Structure 1
Amino acid sequence: MYKNRKYDLVIVGGGIIGTYCAYHALRKGKSVLLLEKDAQPYEASFRNFGQAVPSGQALDSWFDYGRKSLKIYKDLQEEVDISVVKNGSWYVASDDQEMTLLEEMMQLFKDRDYTSRLYTASETVEINPHFKKEYVKGGLFIPEEASLNPLVMVHRVREFMIKNLGLHYHNLCPVIAVEKKRGIAMITTSKKQTFWGDQVILANGRDTQFLLPEHYPTAELKISKLQMMRLAPQKKILKSNILTGLTIRRYDSFKSCPSFSKIYTSSEQKQLQAKGIHILFKQADDGSIILGDSHEYVPAGEQANFGFEVSSEINEMMLSEAKRITSLENWTVDSTWAGFYLQGTQSEVFTKVVDDVIHIINGIGGKGMTTSPGFTAEYIQKLYS
């Protein structure tokens, strides 16, 4: 359809990074072609909780990208419904150590002018009566944070760009070669199509073994496998993102708390942490409850070592811990699935520029939904400054 046309920017990969690179470039008046290998993108950008929670990000870096992303989401929501719901986030402490971390984190957020409020155990349960009293030591609520529906958000942003910003989009278009030629980027597809761009961004996710594999060092990248599940639709009780004690112990932001290095981990917690389990809840529009998640890792390019199974043992561990935290009317598991994402081992995101015109952006890990719009805004700004 667009064969042989030259663009200011060609993007390979229609997930959240590729989509928001396109969005920011189009806002700058650039001509953009977005290429997607499948009928619809469906990888890590869609197999996640859909939570925009800057509060969990490293305070010295990605926290700010998360805040920028929240603003981008909310501003875009004013133009088109991309499924943003400003419902806030609850962190629920299960012991005195986690409560101390919440107290310290509230002060760190105050220093950064990021609104949060600390609640006692009784106040937390009064507001969230589905929490079990014996679990709750207190809570921290961040009102500005939001939920999105990962199954629709990227698709709606893309359709908005096609309709209103002049995006050219080509799906079912696997790219098999990218090289610099005549001073610009030449992109070749499996259908023998050729596209040209002054710049090209490769945001093609975990499948690093096909396109310029020599530029993805296995020592710097790993693949994470997550397990999640969806519980049967039921009465609407979860009004916010719910993040629990194991999440407090896992998220990067809490590592900035003075007491973090001193916290004690029980044998039960260690068993869960060995599987990368930390419990999150979110209730979808249809009343179903998304529950997870777990984390297992292999080096980049070795995803076959994960096998194809969804571990019933891990699911049972997550369900058991979830039942310790909250009371639900229905614990029936309607579906369970695995998600996979590429993650940097030596940096928070993997970027590389090849021959001045080929840009690799990958390995953003599990913070993609929270931080990608803000991070890509900065990347595109620098690209065209």
Structure 2
Amino acid sequence: MTHPTHRTPDPTTAPTIGPTTVRGAGPVRAADTAVVGGGIVGLAHALAAARRGDRVVLFERDTYAVGASIRNFGMIWAVGQQRGAVYQRALRSREIWLELSAKTGMWAEPAGSLHLAHRPDELAVLEEFVATTPAAREHGTTMITAAEAARRGPAVRAEGLLGAMWSPTEVNVDPRRAVPAVAAHLAEEYGVDVRFGTTVRGIAAPRLSTTDGEWRADRIVVCSGNDFATLYPEVFRESGLVRCKLQMLRTGAQPDGWRLGPMLCGGLTLLHYAAFEDCTARAALDARMRAELPFHREHGIHVLLSQTADGRLTIGDSHAYAATHDPFASEEVNQAILGSLREFARIPDPRITERWTGCYPSLRDGRTELVADPEPGVTVVNGVGGAGMTLSFGLAEEVLGR
């Protein structure tokens, strides 16, 4: 994959940035690339365009990002991604996250992950994955003993643990801080004109009609997340996209500076991520889980545990797929998530301080993204599912390099 070079924008032509922008009626303004959507997918495409030297404007209708991009774990979870090109995309995204952290001081912890096996069928899937995935082994993924897993992760439940898979590639960020930090970096470092609180009402390339006036752009990238109706609704009607609703929880800061170390997950996670789909041992695990945990399988529950910089633990999640979801959270689902967590982890203070739901677009046919060109000069990018934090930076370089 060829990565775009970084050309510093010409200060005589770069657009005015950030909150100092004077808004109002006037002539049509211009940019090389316009991005619609201020979630992580849109931010990633703005970054990729800006690194090429484009003059970039980004429009987000909300006054700050409030969607799926801030309602997730903040896990950059390369090890779970589809083998091959998608895994490499995740690794490239990881590189960019660490570059941004080094430049901005944004917290990004390369904590790695532990997949814990308390049952023989879970261990069999992990062992098969490591044995049959040389790319993961090349990046440090390996099987470790139960004793070693307990040493690496202070929350690991050692009772009955048969072994674990260690992967060093996973990075943890706090999405509620990271997403605003990326937006600020785009404005400050690259002169991207970041326009929160601005709705794009219509596009007839190269023109965009917005609540902040008319714009022209040589290339327009639409990263509209859950909004399937405003721009190019026909693309979304034909795409097969549905919305995935999830439930998540968070504890308060853990006492005495206690740190989780590697992010943790258990057997249910092996049924969720595409990385494990080709493992022959997975069928036996799936059959047992359906028999023993029908509620979990019905509600798409698998359990991950991560920690924020200030010591809070993020726990989740569930997955329900439909065109439209009710806005309510099920406490039965929350309790099932917490019960599964207790099967593989012990934490000092498990009291829950926050509960929330999230919603993201998902493709249910195995595709990892939707990239469509509804008219010349316009590209729609959507459907990265629950892997937006993991894949968006790498995906954006691929899309803009087409």
Q: Does 1:312 align with 2:312?
A: no
- Aligned-partner Cα distance in 2 for 1:362–1:66: 16
Kindly state the Cα deviation for residue 227 of structure 1 after the two structures are TM-superposed.
0.3
Q: 1:161 aligns with which of 186, 190, 202?
A: 186
Contact 1:135 1:325 in 2 (8 A): no
Equivalent residue for 2:19?
none
- Aligned-partner Cα distance in 2 for 1:40–1:246: 34
Equivalent residue for 1:29?
53
Q: 1:222 aligns with which of 242, 257, 261?
A: 242
Compared with structure 1, are the counterparts of its residues 156 and 237 closer, same or farther at alpha carbon in structure 2 (3 Å cutoff)? closer
Kindly state the Cα deviation for residue 38 of structure 1 after the two structures are TM-superposed.
0.7
Q: 1:261 aligns with which of 283, 286, 291?
A: 283
Q: Over residues 347-375 of structure 1, what are the superposed CA-to-partner deviations in whole Å (9 max), with x where a residue is unaligned?
A: 22111102211110011100111111111
Q: Does 1:145 align with 2:170?
A: yes
- Aligned letter for 2:352? V
Compared with structure 1, are the counterparts of its residues 240 and 280 closer, same or farther at alpha carbon in structure 2 (3 Å cutoff)? same
Contact 1:135 1:324 in 2 (8 A): no
- Aligned-partner Cα distance in 1 for 2:156–2:251: 17
Equivalent residue for 1:124?
149
- Aligned-partner Cα distance in 2 for 1:29–1:200: 15
- Aligned-partner Cα distance in 1 for 2:160–2:359: 31
- Aligned letter for 1:187? L
Kindly state the Cα deviation for residue 111 of structure 1 after the two structures are TM-superposed.
4.4
- Aligned letter for 1:326? A
Kindly state the Cα deviation for residue 101 of structure 1 after the two structures are TM-superposed.
1.4
Contact 2:265 2:344 in 1 (8 A): no
- Aligned letter for 2:232? L
Q: 2:198 aligns with which of 157, 165, 173?
A: 173
Q: 2:207 aligns with which of 180, 186, 194?
A: 186
Contact 1:66 1:374 in 2 (8 A): yes
Q: Does 1:378 align with 2:398?
A: yes
Q: 4+ runs of 1 displaced by more than 4 Å? A: none
Equivalent residue for 1:362?
382
Q: 1:71 aligns with which of 92, 95, 100?
A: 95
Residue identity (%): 26
Range moving further from structure 2, 311-320 or 70-79: 70-79
- Aligned-partner Cα distance in 1 for 2:218–2:154: 56
- Aligned letter for 1:245? G
- Aligned letter for 1:328? I
Q: 1:245 aligns with which of 257, 267, 280?
A: 267
Equivalent residue for 2:342?
323
Kindly state the Cα deviation for residue 51 of structure 1 after the two structures are TM-superposed.
0.5
Give aligned pairs, total: 372
Kindly state the Cα deviation for residue 174 of structure 1 after the two structures are TM-superposed.
1.0
Gaps of 5+ in 1: none
Kindly state the Cα deviation for residue 376 of structure 1 after the two structures are TM-superposed.
0.7
- Aligned letter for 2:288? T
Compared with structure 1, are the counterparts of its residues 135 and 379 closer, same or farther at alpha carbon in structure 2 (3 Å cutoff)? farther
- Aligned letter for 1:355? E
Aligned Cα root-mean-square deviation (Å):
1.7
Compared with structure 1, are the counterparts of its residues 120 and 158 closer, same or farther at alpha carbon in structure 2 (3 Å cutoff)? same
Gaps of 5+ in 2: 1-21
Kindly state the Cα deviation for residue 231 of structure 1 after the two structures are TM-superposed.
1.4
Q: Over residues 10-54 of structure 1, what are the superposed CA-to-partner deviations in whole Å (9 max), with x where a residue is unaligned?
A: 111011111111111111111100011011011111110001111
Equivalent residue for 1:19?
43
Partner of 2:175: helix, strand, or coil? coil
- Aligned-partner Cα distance in 2 for 1:158–1:20: 10
Kindly state the Cα deviation for residue 123 of structure 1 after the two structures are TM-superposed.
2.7
Listed as ranges, the matches of 1:46-125 within 5 Å are: 46-111=70-135, 113-125=138-150
Q: Does 1:42 align with 2:86?
A: no
Equivalent residue for 1:340?
359
Compared with structure 1, are the counterparts of its residues 178 and 219 closer, same or farther at alpha carbon in structure 2 (3 Å cutoff)? closer
Equivalent residue for 2:17?
none
Contact 2:247 2:356 in 1 (8 A): yes
- Aligned-partner Cα distance in 1 for 2:102–2:326: 43
- Aligned-partner Cα distance in 1 for 2:69–2:333: 22
Equivalent residue for 2:5?
none
Q: Over residues 190-216 of structure 1, what are the superposed CA-to-partner deviations in whole Å (9 max), with x where a residue is unaligned?
A: 35x111111111101011112221221
Q: 1:353 aligns with which of 368, 373, 386?
A: 373
Kindly state the Cα deviation for residue 129 of structure 1 after the two structures are TM-superposed.
4.2
Contact 1:110 1:116 in 2 (8 A): no
Contact 2:246 2:320 in 1 (8 A): yes
Partner of 1:232: helix, strand, or coil? strand
Partner of 2:253: helix, strand, or coil? coil
Equivalent residue for 2:252?
232
Partner of 1:265: helix, strand, or coil? helix
Kindly state the Cα deviation for residue 155 of structure 1 after the two structures are TM-superposed.
1.4
Range moving further from structure 2, 65-74 or 131-140: 131-140
Q: Over residues 238-288 of structure 1, what are the superposed CA-to-partner deviations in whole Å (9 max), with x where a residue is unaligned?
A: 112112111122211011323223433242333211111001101222222
